[in-house]
Chains A and B, each alone.
Chain A
Amino acid sequence: MIRKLALIVVLAAIAGGLVFYVLTLPQTLPRDVLAAMPDGDAARGETIFWAGGCASCHAAEKAQGDDKLKLGGGHVLASDFGDFVVPNISTDPQTGIGGWTAEDFANAMLRGVAPDGAHYYPSFPWTSYARMETGDLADLWAFMQTLPAVGNDPGPHRLGFPFNIRRGVGMWKLLYAGSEPAVPLDTADDKVLRGQYLVEGLGHCGECHTPRDFAGGLKKDLWLSGAPNPEGPGRIPNITGGEGGIGSWSEADIAYYLESGFTPDFDSVGGSMVAVQENMAKLAAEDREAVAAYLKAIPAVDSAQ
């Protein structure tokens, strides 16, 4: 009897392992999507680079001017799961991604899969970039080829068990990942849709402004309604029209804030939003207006607390 029970336990464990293995297989992009990726335009890619906020994490902290283009990594993102160490994405072939192909880059950005097939943690916001168009991705890649190589190995993430098991991210992906819109918008307004693309995709605003559940998945029913500050005291503000949010701001107010860093009360931008605002200031005025139109179009959610 005990033998039989032991056998059942062993078989169940093997079956469980197999199921886990299959479920957590990395899902790379289909070949036809990769093959259809156009050649990129580096000049257009620069806009994508700023809209995507790449430098805010991958350049050195407080970097100014051309130093924002040195993407050697090393910044640490503290979280409940441990410390995520931002990698080097400069063109350095040894410590950066100088050895990557455009296809490698596309799989990383749209699927969160590394060239060796490993899953990326969602600390890298591929979860948002998954909504990017492949044309923009090709442009971004072309621009990144023009940036300097930085020799710097920031080392691995420092995560506790079980979060240090990368394969587990495959399960997380089944639950949370996808390229569908974060909030359904019943609109055909090009301006709002452009704003949606900038906010939900490139700008990855939801990664900080939306609260997360116990497993780190975004609570989409509370989209952009504010969240605890992952880097210390205070909260990341509610940017919907709900209570505690920015319902009293006009679209012009939002666009002006993104351009100048001043709120309607002429308080200034602060904290980690400073780097984001400075990126937004580099975009075309129509893009900031599109972001504003989108923020006015999404469901108003009251702040927690």
Chain B
Amino acid sequence: MKKTVLALSIVTATAVAAFAADDPIAARKAIMQGNGAAAGVTAGMMKGEIAYNPAAAKLAIASLNAAAMTFGDYFPEGSDMGADTTASPKIWEDPEGFKAELAKFQSAAGAAMQASGKAGPADLDAFKAAMGPVLGTCKSCHEGYRVKN
């Protein structure tokens, strides 16, 4: 399982790096799709629709942690328009505020990563405690820095 996670993150990271320079909008959208999938597995387990599994929990946390470390690199000047981006102009008008939101995401995801240890959070309560703050940063940033149509 650990190897799979590692391989997955390497594949994701390489793929993103290859395209990112040409198409930052596609890159950041792909990262967000990954976040959505991680949140989906998380919510499934939290709601009891998917049986709790520490390895799957760790995969979700690791995936969000990787996203937190890389996501902010894909907002170069000039990538505020086109390709149906839902990024708010505020990202470029208030870069410090955006960075502060990213920092919240990074610190929450980093702490969750720490807490999950080698085998992933031991039980559902540990997972909820680790993941809750990470999920809270989604809307904290989307409140001011995303525009939905």
Q: Do A and B bind each other?
A: yes
A233: interface (CB < 8 Å)? yes
Partner of B39, one of A232, A233, A266: A266
Q: Is the CB of A271 within 8 A of B147?
A: yes
A277 x B149 contact (CB < 8 A)? no
Q: How far is the CA of A229 from the CA of B149 in the complex (A)?
A: 9
B residues near A275, Cβ cutoff 8 Å: 143
Question: What is the minimal beta-carbon distance from B43 to any residue of chain A, in angstroms?
Answer: 6
Bound complex: CA A270 to CA B90 (Å) = 14
Asked if A265 lies at the interface with its beta carbon under 8 angstroms from chain B, I say yes
With the chains together, A262 CA to B39 CA distance in Å?
A: 9
In the complex where A234-B148, A234-B149 touch, is A266 in contact with B139 (Cβ < 8 A)?
Answer: no
A184 to chain B, nearest CB (A): 30
Interface flags for B66-94 (1: CB within 8 Å of A; 0: not) read 00000000000000000000101100000
Question: At the interface, yes or no: B103 with Cβ under 8 Å from chain A?
Answer: no
User: From residue 111 to 149 of chain B, which have CB atoms closer than 8 A to chain A?
Assistant: 135, 138-140, 142-143, 146-149
**How distant is the Cα of A269 from the Cα of B41 in the complex, in angstroms?**
18
Q: Are A262 and B43 in contact (CB under 8 A)?
A: yes
* B149 lies within 8 A of A270 (CB): no
* Residues of A contacting B: mostly: loop
The distance in angstroms between the C-alpha atoms of A232 and B139, with both chains bound, is: 18
Which one of B36, B139, B148 contacts A277 once the chains associate, using CB atoms below 8 Å? B139
- The answer, among A233, A256, A268, for a CB contact under 8 Å with B142, is A268
- Minimum CB–CB distance from A12 to chain B (whole Å) comes to 49
**Which residues of A are found within 8 Å of B138, using beta-carbon distances?**
261-262, 268
Tell me whether B139 and A233 are in contact (CB under 8 A). no
The 19 listed contacts between A and B (C-beta, < 8 Å) are A233-B89, A234-B86, A234-B147, A234-B148, A237-B148, A261-B138, A262-B43, A266-B36, A266-B39, A266-B40, A266-B43, A269-B139, A270-B146, A270-B148, A271-B146, A271-B147, A274-B139, A274-B140, A277-B139
